[in-house]
Chains A and B, each alone.
Chain A
Amino acid sequence: VVRLALLLFFALTLSSCVTVPQNRRAKLADPMMSVSDDPIETYRKQKLYNSREGAAGGDGVASGGGCGCQ
């Protein structure tokens, strides 16, 4: 896990000096390339996983609370 975190950290920081011109970001604008789900899909995933797995939370969402199923 530590190695993975370090790899991720260096991958992000070493590449941060590279900028991609706006006119070369067409593929990134495709809905298929979104790294986050839309709100409806996010809520559905929370419903499926947060109330069935004791390891919910993080990733921008709170774990537990907000639902009687907890």
Chain B
Amino acid sequence: VKRLALALLFVSSTAAAEDGLQLKAVETGLTAFEQRGVGYQSQASSTVLGPGSERLIVFEPQLLVRARQGERLEHSVLTTLDIVTAASPNAVDRLRKPDAISNASKTNQAGAIDWTASYAFSPHVNGALRNGVHLEENFRSLWNGIGASYSFAEDAATASASLQQIHDWFDRFDVTGVRVGRATRTTTSGNAGFTQILGPETVVHASYGLTTQTGELSNTWNSVPLNGYGEEREGELLPRQRVRHALVGRFAQWLPWTGALKGSYRFYADDWGVVAHTLEAQLLQRFSPLVYARASYRFHTQTAVDFFTTLATPETTFRTADSDLASFEAHTIGGKISVDVPSLFEGSHLDLGYERYFRTDHVRVNVVLWQAGARF
């Protein structure tokens, strides 16, 4: 891995000195998330032990730039901003003047830059380096990754593998909003995938991912209703390690009426007790050489973590009331239309879509997405 990283760094710096950049694509996106629902981890409630609001609004503008540098090197830089308003953290310290965490949550501006440099060692072998940074008011994150792919059988089959490391540093707060030092966590993820063209109209893909996490795995201000000496809340207590497995299968099938059917299944299991199944289907229809539409449906079901509770006792070793770690079923329905606009300039396109995510525990999210750009 180190040798491949050094080789990529060497060739990228050499290429940078010899070749200029050639723009390949510029994409802009704007996504709005509007969430409603309640969860027992939230204190935005009229009662101490009752579930609190999970109201959340996020505006997320994005910019993606892809550029080629010479014959072999390609860069992809994705910049994302998040403007977040959240009810749950706002309620943490409602009895006193808001401190950093409340200010962060009222209107939290977060930003991330994700840079991937891929290098073609040969027509069949590619290597990639990925680096990124995510900044929030009370949160810092850095990630580094390396990957490679090998295509064979006249490029009908591609095997790929990647390794990624994420380091997070963030302020620790108690459930009353008082800053109590710093916390860290490390995430290491390895993935292996295989893509196969089965015929002129069919392609399949399978992948396996293993993720291990170490450190503070809570956001530190999530609370849990306690059945103690009175009505009160304390912080959630999570194990400091987590090992997660995910197995994914996908297919894409061309349909005779100039359409496509895509589907995927994902199996997930971890050592906290969560077992999940996710099915997704997309039906795409091209109406003209310039216009196609997509309808999609996704179903997700998961079991709760072993220590999930909505009313804990003070003696419990681990506890969480986070609704995201509970047992639930989730559905997402959506649609998108994509229009090429060559009259504007060659390669330009416009995408507009809507998705609705709703769960059996009544958390629901409306997502509106807009994307425009040009591929040169």
**A-side interface residues toward B, CB under 8 Å?**
1, 4-5, 8-9, 11-12, 15-22, 24-25, 27-28, 30-36, 38-41, 43-44, 47-49, 51-70
Interface string of B335-376 (1 = CB under 8 A from A): 000100000000000000001010000010101010100000
Known: A48-B365, A54-B274. A66 touches B268 (CB 8 A): no
- B31 near A68: Cβ-Cβ < 8 Å: no
Q: Which of B44-52, B92-100, B239-247 lines the interface with chain A?
A: B239-247
Residues of B260-274 whose CB lies within 8 A of A: 260, 262, 265-268, 270, 272, 274
Q: Which residues of A contact B242 (CB under 8 A)?
A: 64
Question: B153 is contacted by which of A19, A28, A39, A67 (Cβ under 8 Å)?
Answer: A19
- Asked whether B205 is an interface residue with its Cβ less than 8 Å from the other chain, the reply is yes
- B162 near A12: Cβ-Cβ < 8 Å: no
Q: Nearest chain B CB to A8's CB is how many angstroms away?
A: 5
Besides A32-B284, A55-B276, A58-B211, 7 more A-B contacts (Cβ < 8 Å) are A8-B249, A12-B196, A20-B154, A32-B292, A43-B78, A54-B322, A65-B166
Question: B268 is contacted by which of A22, A34, A55 (Cβ under 8 Å)?
Answer: A55
Q: Which residues of B contact A39 (CB under 8 A)?
A: 64, 76, 78, 114
Known: A58-B247, A65-B213. A40 touches B78 (CB 8 A): yes
Question: B31 is contacted by which of A44, A55, A70 (Cβ under 8 Å)?
Answer: A44
- A16 near B153: Cβ-Cβ < 8 Å: yes
Q: Which residues of A contact B168 (CB under 8 A)?
A: 65-66
- B286 near A5: Cβ-Cβ < 8 Å: no
Q: Which residues of B contact A65 (CB under 8 A)?
A: 141, 143, 166-168, 185-187, 213
Known: A19-B153, A63-B244. A44 touches B369 (CB 8 A): yes
> Which residue among A17, A21, A44 has the maximum number of chain B CB atoms within 10 Å of its CB?
A44
Q: Which residues of B contact A4 (CB under 8 A)?
A: 249, 265
- B260 near A12: Cβ-Cβ < 8 Å: no
Residue of B with least CB distance to A34:
B252
Known: A40-B64, A57-B268, A58-B191. A11 touches B246 (CB 8 A): no
Q: Nearest chain B CB to A10's CB is how many angstroms away?
A: 12
Residue of A with least CB distance to B54:
A52
- Asked whether B197 is an interface residue with its Cβ less than 8 Å from the other chain, the reply is yes
- A64 near B211: Cβ-Cβ < 8 Å: yes
A-B contact count (CB 8 A): 219
Q: Which residues of B contact A62 (CB under 8 A)?
A: 143, 164, 166, 187-189, 211
The CA of A35 and the CA of B265, in the complex, are separated in Å by: 13
Q: Nearest chain B CB to A57's CB is how many angstroms away?
A: 4
- Asked whether B136 is an interface residue with its Cβ less than 8 Å from the other chain, the reply is yes
Question: B276 is contacted by which of A9, A34, A40, A53 (Cβ under 8 Å)?
Answer: A53
Instruction: Enumerate 30 A-B pairs (CB-CB under 8 Å) in ascending A order.
Output: A12-B206, A15-B198, A22-B154, A25-B200, A28-B197, A28-B201, A31-B292, A35-B203, A35-B204, A44-B29, A44-B367, A47-B58, A52-B324, A53-B276, A59-B191, A59-B266, A60-B207, A61-B189, A61-B209, A62-B143, A62-B164, A62-B166, A62-B187, A62-B189, A63-B211, A65-B143, A66-B141, A67-B139, A70-B217, A70-B219
Q: Which residues of A contact B245 (CB under 8 A)?
A: 58
- A69 near B219: Cβ-Cβ < 8 Å: yes
Question: B267 is contacted by which of A1, A28, A33, A49 (Cβ under 8 Å)?
Answer: A1
- A27 near B254: Cβ-Cβ < 8 Å: yes
The CA of A4 and the CA of B248, in the complex, are separated in Å by: 11
Closest A-B pairs by Cβ, 10 of them: A58-B246, A58-B209, A55-B276, A65-B187, A62-B189, A65-B166, A68-B139, A54-B325, A32-B284, A32-B260
Question: A20 is contacted by which of B141, B197, B305 (Cβ under 8 Å)?
Answer: B197
Residue of B with least CB distance to A9:
B206
Q: Which residues of A contact B244 (CB under 8 A)?
A: 56-58, 63
Q: Which residues of A contact B203 (CB under 8 A)?
A: 28, 33, 35
The CA of A35 and the CA of B249, in the complex, are separated in Å by: 10
Known: A43-B78, A64-B211. A19 touches B156 (CB 8 A): yes
